[in-house]
Structure 1
Amino acid sequence: MDSAVSDPHNGSAEAGGPTNGTTRPPSTPEGIALAYGSLLLMALLPIFFGALRSVRCARGKNASDMPETITSRDAARFPIIASCTLLGLYLFFKIFSQEYINLLLSMYFFVLGILALSHTISPFMNKFFPASFPNRQYQLLFTQGSGENKEEIVNYEFDTKDLVCLGLSSIVGVWYLLRKHWIANNLFGLAFSLNGVELLHLNNVSTGCILLGGLFIYDVFWVFGTNVMVTVAKSFEAPIKLVFPQDLLEKGLEADNFAMLGLGDIVIPGIFIALLLRFDISLKKNTHTYFYTSFAAYIFGLGLTIFIMHIFKHAQPALLYLVPTCIGFPVLVALAKGEVTEMFSYEESNPKDPAAATESKEGTEASASKGLEKKEK
């Protein structure tokens, strides 16, 4: 039977099903195992590498790569905004032609996908360029006003290597736009997920608990309480989910009986796991205990989701299982180590917030002054 792991933001559905009055042959156990295992592996890659890149992103000075910090107020609003968006999409698909809506969405995600994929592969591609490669620097600058009132709207710096990555990503984009092939869909989906984990930062663990707790309720309600999420996922043609065919062994790359995993089930726990990695580093103990614990918790939670979905033959809200494990496991470790206070008092300032930057600078200067006073004594 076709299966799906739910998407907390964009819906979940059972992929496939009867088509044109005919019923697909049941997937083999080997095909189902391959599909589920591949989805699990694809989910882990953007979380692991996105978390590592989030550390460099937090320390970076390039304005174009600055993270977007999620505050507790943002976290509290997020389930409401997500619910309104989901319901709005549901009404759109009910009222207007699905074909034209998906055409607009395809063009929108075509542009976003190219940019996300280019940003994702850029660090890897840099290793393949020879030292003699003529790399020139460029800057895209848009300003508003003039003189003293001039204000920067866009200030993006890039080089020739970035343009090469953009060209390669455009090839994948055209492939997706023309064929909607599941591999092209997954390349864009992985890029979106990795960029989300890298660039979306929670400011503290409490905010992470608020966000995951709110989306826990949201996910359960829209999957079990209504058919809205299932309907949207079936109608929505965009790389908002990872898919893998359960009939790959029988049909090869042209397989069409998909299991799916929503990107929200990757990004939302992923940004919490990335926060715990940065917390590990802040402890300066040269251990990544909380990161590895939460990473293992994610594997356990997603595996449990797939198992229950396979047993009951019904799409499951993945956050129902991921939220308790991803929060519970690290908290238990913190209790065992006596570091609960340190965990919940860890705070990340918003690098885009001038007030936070000033406070951080003043705190650094105060610490330096105290150090000098002690040295003089």
Structure 2
Amino acid sequence: MTICAFCAFSVQLYSPRRPVVDIAEVFLWLMAVGTILCASYWSAWSAREVAVEQDQLLKDASDEVTSPKGLGVSNVVDISTASAVFFVVIASCFLILLYKLMSSWFLDLLVVLFCIGGVEGLQTCLVALLSRWFKRTGESFIKVPFFGAVSYLTLAVSPFCIAFAVIWAVYRNASFGWIGQDILGIALIITVIQIVRVPNLKVGTVLLSCAFLYDIFWVFVSKSLFHESVMIVVARGDRSGEDGIPMLLKIPRLFDPWGGFSIIGFGDILLPGLLIAFSLRYDCLAKKNLRAGYFLWAMFAYGLGLLITYVALNLMDGHGQPALLYIVPFTLGTFIALGKMRGDLKILWTKGEPERVCPHVGLESNKE
């Protein structure tokens, strides 16, 4: 028997390769685009209903009413340039708070807040959808303590929404927990875009420009101040013991040998969505078709910007990328360039809606 005193061993480490195209990112792209699409059409439909109602009120109004100003909708909030800047400042403070206090108990607090917002969003979406079939129930109200007048349809839908959010909160760490989180998140985003409006292109430019700088700073620049990317640490929930904060949409990487989730933050959908919804409202009020309007091109620019974000993410070997770095130049740049080419930039920048002839004035001129 021969014994070898010196034997050569070679150790090879196997590193599985990730797929070139992650199906999770494809579905996230579709979810983001679809969410903005639904929210924009809902916002435009509401704006058109208000415009029709205003015209009818002006036709039936007395001689004292000669202008549509002041005939607005109480459940819609128009943001200003100051509030757009203030929003980004508050978002930065909140991000620092998350970074410093990130722990299991603080994440539980975020889950509670997310459930409250998700219940409100899901309830608003379901009531708006079901009221088309149960119109009488949606228009019948009952007075509820602490809440005031509430429709019977809202009372019927609320228990389901609350139960849905509670079940998600309990099973959020299960393999299927991401489904409930995405449903609540999408409903919340759609509701916010429906309630909060960009009144003109000037406000939209300020909002997205500030968000553009915000995203770049907290993803890239914050590394030099905190020795790590604050945005990425918070998004992944590194110090919480869970798979990230609930304020994002996520889909598991089913075909990635390394596992994990593909994620997109609410702000990457919500903030550009406010501008895109504004573009569709303008198109509807100006009676522009899709090709001659701004919505189609703004929507296309957003989708392209988000697509390039995922391309950059894969080229950077999975290192987090600020999505607004790519989305804002495409979306905002396309909108401004088209407005300049078509001669609508001044109206878009200041008024945010086309000139409308007051029907009351028209009726008076006919009488004369």
Q: Pick from 62, 70, 81: which aligns with 1:72?
A: 81
Q: Pick from 197, 201, 223: which aligns with 1:201?
A: 197
Q: How does 1:150-189 map to 2 (within 5 A)?
A: 155-159=148-152, 161-180=153-172, 181-189=177-185
Q: Which has the higher contact order (CA 8 A, sep 6+)?
A: 1
Return 233-242 or 83-92, whichever deviates more.
233-242
Question: How far apart, in 1, do the equivalents of 2:85 and 2:204 lie?
Answer: 10
Q: How does 1:31-70 map to 2 (within 5 A)?
A: 32-58=21-47, 59=49, 66-70=75-79
Question: How far apart, in 2, do the equivalents of 1:175 and 1:344 lie?
Answer: 45
Letter in 2 for 1:179: Y
Instruction: Report the CA distance between 1:76 and its aligned residue.
Output: 2.0
| Cα distance change, pair 329–64 in 1 and its aligned pair in 2 (3 A) | closer
Contact 2:141 2:150 in 1 (8 A): yes
Question: How far apart, in 2, do the equivalents of 1:127 and 1:86 lie?
Answer: 40
| CA-to-aligned-CA distance 1:120-156 (integer Å, 9 cap, x gap) | 2223334566x998995323465xxxxxxxxxxx645
Instruction: Report the CA distance between 1:249 and its aligned residue.
Output: 8.4
Partner of 2:69: none
- Residues 1:107 and 2:108 are matched in the alignment: no
Question: How far apart, in 2, do the equivalents of 1:24 and 1:201 lie?
Answer: 52
Question: How far apart, in 1, do the equivalents of 2:73 and 2:338 lie?
Answer: 36
Unaligned runs of 5+ in 1: 1-22, 143-153, 349-362
Return 168-177 or 202-211, whichever deviates more.
168-177
Return 106-115 or 232-241, whichever deviates more.
232-241
Q: TM-score, normalised by structure 2?
A: 0.77
Contact 2:137 2:151 in 1 (8 A): no
Letter in 2 for 1:158: S
Unaligned runs of 5+ in 2: 1-12, 54-71, 223-228
Letter in 2 for 1:374: S
Return 304-313 or 76-85, whichever deviates more.
76-85
Letter in 2 for 1:247: L
Q: How does 1:93-132 map to 2 (within 5 A)?
A: 93=102, 98-126=103-131
Identity over the aligned pairs, expressed in percent? Answer: 28
| Cα distance change, pair 73–135 in 1 and its aligned pair in 2 (3 A) | closer
Q: How does 1:276-287 map to 2 (within 5 A)?
A: 276-287=279-290
Partner of 2:67: none
| Cα distance change, pair 294–135 in 1 and its aligned pair in 2 (3 A) | closer
Q: Pick from 301, 304, 308: which aligns with 1:300?
A: 304
Q: TM-score, normalised by structure 1?
A: 0.75
Question: Secondary structure at 2:22's aligned position in 1?
Answer: helix
Give me the CA root mean square deviation. 3.3
Question: Secondary structure at 2:251's aligned position in 1?
Answer: strand
Partner of 1:146: none
State the aligned residue count.
318
Partner of 2:142: 138
Instruction: Report the CA distance between 1:69 and its aligned residue.
Output: 1.3
Q: Pick from 85, 88, 100: which aligns with 2:97?
A: 88
Contact 1:125 1:165 in 2 (8 A): no
- Residues 1:274 and 2:280 are matched in the alignment: no
Contact 2:19 2:255 in 1 (8 A): no
| CA-to-aligned-CA distance 1:43-77 (integer Å, 9 cap, x gap) | 0122111111112444459x997112111111122
